Structure 1
Amino acid sequence: MSLPTDPAANLAALIRCPSVTPAEGGALMALEAMLKPLGFAVDRPVFSGEGTPDVENLYARLAGDHSGEGPHLMFAGHTDVVPPGDEADWTHPPFSATVEGGFMHGRGAVDMKGGIACFVAALARHVEAHGAPGGPVSLLITGDEEGPAINGTVKLLEWAAARGERWDAAIVGEPTNPDALGDMIKIGRRGSLTGDIVVHGRQGHIAYPHLADNPVRGMAALLDALFHPPLDAGTENFQPSNLEVTTVDVGNPATNVIPAKARATFNIRYNDAWTPEALQAEIHNRLDRAAGRGKLRLGKEDGVAFELSWRVSPSPVFLTRDDRLVSGLSAAIEAVTGRRPALSTSGGTSDARFIKDYCPVVEFGLVGQTMHMVNERVALADLETLTRIYRRFIEDWFA
C-alpha cells in the first residue's frame, strides 16, 4: 500500500472536498484515508451545542515504536474553510485544486489544508524511511475553526484528555509566514475581547430636537473615550493593545427621525499588560467618565444612559517559552531554508489559544498572503519545503 508522501497529492484530495464551515465535505474522510496506512488509530467524534451546528472532528494517534514512552507530539489544525464567495470571480473553480504556473489553486490551499497535507507527507516519509517515530504522534483536526469555535478544538481536547491523552508539545499548521517560508514562528497571541454598547435616548422629530434625546451624540462621546488615550505602548513580547469599533447602528431608515437607541460593537486585541478582568474594568471606567460628561441634546446636562455587555469566552493572551519546542523548530527551519525565523506574537487568534492549556504550542505553516482571498493558492515548491521542515523537526524531536 502506497503511503501519502506527496504533499501536493494530499492537498489536492483535501481541496476537492467542499468543507465550508461547518460541513465536513469529505475532508476528514480523505484525511483518514491518508492516515490509516501509516498505522494511525482514527476517531471522528461529533460535538453539539445549543444554538450551534453539529461539527465533526478528527483525532488520530500513532503509538510510535516505543509503546508510547517517547515525547508525545501533536499536530493541530482545521479542514474547514471560509466560503469562496462568488465562484465566477475565481480564475479556477475554488474546489478544483487546479495546478497552473507552479501553483495549486483552491480554497484552503494555505488556510490551512496545505499545512495538514505537508505534515502528513512529512510523517509518511519518516515512516517510509525509518518506521514509526520514537514516541506518539497525534493529529487533532477540527471542522469548526473558521466558525464559532464551540464544537471543535475545545471539546476535542477535552474528549481526548478524558481518554487519558497527554501531550508534550504541539504545532498548529496555520499560515504564519508573511512573505517566504522561514520568516516567522508564532510563539503566542494577543487576547481578544468583544463588547457591545447600547445608548438610550428618546425618539422624536428632527425639527424639534428639544423634545427628543439623540443617542448618537452620546455614543460619539463614549466611543471617543474608548479610543483615547491608547490602552498601552506594547510590551517586551507584544505589540500595543488595539481597540477597534466594528459596528455602529441606530436601525433608523428615516432622515427626519431622531432614533431611540444607538448600538455599537468593539473588539480589543490586547497584550500581556492586561488580564481580561483588568481590561473590562478599564473600559467600564472610561465609559462611566465619558457618560458623565456627555450630552444627548444641547442644554441638557443629565449625562448619557448606556448599557455595556461582554461577549462570552474572551480569548486569553499567551506566550510559549518552551525552549525545546521553539529552538527545535527554529533549527529545523534554518537547516532547510537557511533563514532564522522571527519569533512573533502578531496577528489574530487561532486554536492555539485552547491548546496552550494542555501543552506548549507554536504555530508554523505556509505563506499566508492569499488566505481567505479569491484565487487562494500555494506554490508547489513551498509545499515541498514545508514538508522537509516538518520532517526535519519530527526526526530531531524523536532523536
Structure 2
Amino acid sequence: MTGPIDPVALAADLIRCASVTPADAGAQDVLTAALEAQGFTVHRFTSGEAPHGPVENMIAIRGQGAPHFAFAGHSDVVPAGQGWTAGAFEPEIRGDLLYGRGAVDMKGAIAAFIAATERVQDHAGTLSLLITGDEEGPALYGTRAIIDWLDARGIRPDMVLVGEPTSDKRLGDTIKIGRRGSINAWITVPGTQGHVAYPHLADNPVARLVRILDRLQRWHLDDGNAWFQPSNLEITDIEVASGATNIIPGSAGARLNIRFNDVQQGAALEAEIRRIVAEEAPRGTVEALISGEAFLTAPGALSSLMSDAIRGVTGVDAEYSTTGGTSDARFLSQIAPTVEFGLCNATMHKLDEAVAVEDLRVLADIYEAVLRKALRP
C-alpha cells in the first residue's frame, strides 16, 4: 500500500483471504505487511494440531513502557455457506456497503484499527495488536496461546479493546463491558433395550431422562443483577435412538447450554447438573464443557475513554451492555480491564455479510481518538 491506509481497501484485502477457522489463507501476511511498515515488531507462531489447528497467531508491538494499550481481534471467519449474491471472498462495494465474509466480524474492525495506528505514531507507552485465527472455532489454540506467549515474556497490557461488532442500531451505540459465561452439558442415561410388549425384560431410560430435564427446566438459577440479565438454561437436543415404534431404547440422551451471569460459576453449575442426574439416574453420565466464565469490567477509566471517544467523533452516547454470546474477551479480561467495541452486528455470520463503507471510516476515526487519549505523549 502507498499513502495513508484506507480501512475500506484494507478490509477488502483481508476479505479476499478465505480464512475459515482454522485456516489463515494469507490474512496475517496482509496484516504483517501493513504493521511492519508502521514500525511494529510482529511476532507470529502457530499453535495446536488438527482437527482444530494448527492456528496462526500474531502479536504486533510498537513502543515500550507504560501505559500498554492492546487491541485484540481475530482474522478467522465462519464458513460462507451457500446462497451469496456474489462470492463471499470476493469483496465488492455495492451502493454504500462493502460485502464479503468477515466485513463485520471482524476484518473490518482490524482494518479500521490499523488505519488508526498509522495516524498515531508519536504515542507514549506501548501499543500492541493481539490477533488470532481461532476465535470462531473452539478457541483452544488462539487467544489463550497468545496470553501464554505474553506471560512467558512478562508482558501485560494495562487495558484491552476487543474489536467485536458490538453496535446495534447505529455505529457507537453499544460498548460491551462484560459477557455471560457458557457451559454445555451432554447427559446420557443408559437402559436395557427390549420389546415394548415385554417391559419387565427391559429397562426404559426415557422416563428417567424426562425427570432430569424437568428438574433442570424448573431450576431457578438467579434473578440477574445490575449489569446482567438472569442466567438461562436451554435444552438444545434430545436423542433416543430406538429405531422402531416397538422397541424400548437402550439409552437416551440430551444436550443443554447455560448462559450464566457473574452470580454463577461454571464449576458449581456443572456440579449441580451432575447431582440431579445422579439422583434420577445413578448410572447416568454427564460430559460438560465450560467455554468461559462470566466477566465484568466495571464502568471506569477504560469504558469512559471509549465512550468519550465515541461521543467526540459521532455525538452518540454509548450504552454499556453485557448481552450477547461469548468472545475472546472472556480470556483477556483475566489479564487486564477489557471492553469490546466495533461495527454494527446486524449481518455478522449471515449470507451477504456487509458493512457500511462510511462506518469503516468513522470507526477508524473513533479508534484514532481512543489511541490519542490512551497513549497521550
Category of TM-score, reference length = shorter chain: over 0.9
Contact 2:240–2:251, Cα closer than 8 Å, also in 1: yes
Q: Please list the CA deviations of residues 146-187 of structure 1 after superposition, one character each: whole Å capped at 9, or x if unmatched.
A: 111111110111112212322110000000112111111110
Give the Å deviation of 1:190: 0.9
1:310 and 2:323 correspond = no
Q: Tell me the secondary structure at the aligned position of residue 312 of structure 2.
A: helix
Among candidates 341, 364, 383, match of residue 318 of structure 2: 341
Letter in 1 for 2:78: V
* Corresponding residue for residue 339 of structure 2: 362
TM-score, normalization by structure 2 = 0.95
Tell me how far apart the structure 2 counterparts of residues 212 and 204 of structure 1 sit (CA, whole Å). Answer: 5
Give the Å deviation of 1:22: 0.5
Structure 1 pair 13–4 and aligned structure 2 pair: CA distance change class (3 A) = farther
1:324 and 2:301 correspond = yes
Contact 1:218–1:304, Cα closer than 8 Å, also in 2: no
* Corresponding residue for residue 121 of structure 1: 115
Contact 1:4–1:120, Cα closer than 8 Å, also in 2: no
1:236 and 2:226 correspond = yes
1:69 and 2:65 correspond = yes
Identity of aligned residues (%): 48
Give the Å deviation of 1:19: 0.3
Tell me how far apart the structure 2 counterparts of residues 75 and 222 of structure 1 sit (CA, whole Å). Answer: 44
* Corresponding residue for residue 272 of structure 1: 262
1:220 and 2:210 correspond = yes
Give the Å deviation of 1:50: 7.5
Give the Å deviation of 1:234: 1.0
Give the Å deviation of 1:105: 0.5
Tell me how far apart the structure 2 counterparts of residues 143 and 253 of structure 1 sit (CA, whole Å). Answer: 41
* Corresponding residue for residue 42 of structure 1: 42
Among candidates 162, 172, 179, match of residue 182 of structure 1: 172
Letter in 2 for 1:70: A
Give the Å deviation of 1:274: 1.3
User: Which runs of structure 2 are paired with 1:11-26 in the superposition (5 Å)?
Assistant: 11-26=11-26
Letter in 1 for 2:195: H
Tell me how far apart the structure 1 counterparts of residues 213 and 58 of structure 2 sit (CA, whole Å). Answer: 43
Deviates more, 1:102-111 or 1:211-220: 211-220
Among candidates 135, 139, 144, match of residue 149 of structure 1: 139
Structure 1 pair 181–342 and aligned structure 2 pair: CA distance change class (3 A) = same
Contact 1:238–1:346, Cα closer than 8 Å, also in 2: yes
* Corresponding residue for residue 297 of structure 1: none
Tell me how far apart the structure 2 counterparts of residues 206 and 379 of structure 1 sit (CA, whole Å). Answer: 60
Letter in 2 for 1:120: I
Tell me how far apart the structure 1 counterparts of residues 53 and 371 of structure 2 sit (CA, whole Å). Answer: 35
Contact 1:192–1:349, Cα closer than 8 Å, also in 2: yes
Letter in 2 for 1:149: A
Contact 2:278–2:284, Cα closer than 8 Å, also in 1: no
Q: Tell me the secondary structure at the aligned position of residue 38 of structure 1.
A: coil
Give the Å deviation of 1:331: 0.6
Tell me how far apart the structure 2 counterparts of residues 38 and 392 of structure 1 sit (CA, whole Å). Answer: 18
TM-score, normalization by structure 1 = 0.90
Tell me how far apart the structure 1 counterparts of residues 4 and 133 of structure 2 sit (CA, whole Å). Answer: 22
Q: Tell me the secondary structure at the aligned position of residue 57 of structure 1.
A: strand
1:173 and 2:163 correspond = yes
Tell me how far apart the structure 1 counterparts of residues 373 and 181 of structure 2 sit (CA, whole Å). Answer: 32
Give the Å deviation of 1:208: 2.9
* Corresponding residue for residue 56 of structure 2: 56
Give the Å deviation of 1:354: 0.8
Tell me how far apart the structure 2 counterparts of residues 269 and 15 of structure 1 sit (CA, whole Å). Answer: 31
1:380 and 2:357 correspond = yes
Letter in 2 for 1:25: A
Give the Å deviation of 1:285: 3.9
Q: Please list the CA deviations of residues 43-76 of structure 1 after superposition, one character each: whole Å capped at 9, or x if unmatched.
A: 111112586421111111111xxxx233111000
Give unmatched runs, 5+ long, in structure 2: none
* Corresponding residue for residue 263 of structure 1: 253
Tell me how far apart the structure 2 counterparts of residues 93 and 49 of structure 1 sit (CA, whole Å). Answer: 29
* Corresponding residue for residue 249 of structure 1: 239
RMSD: 1.7
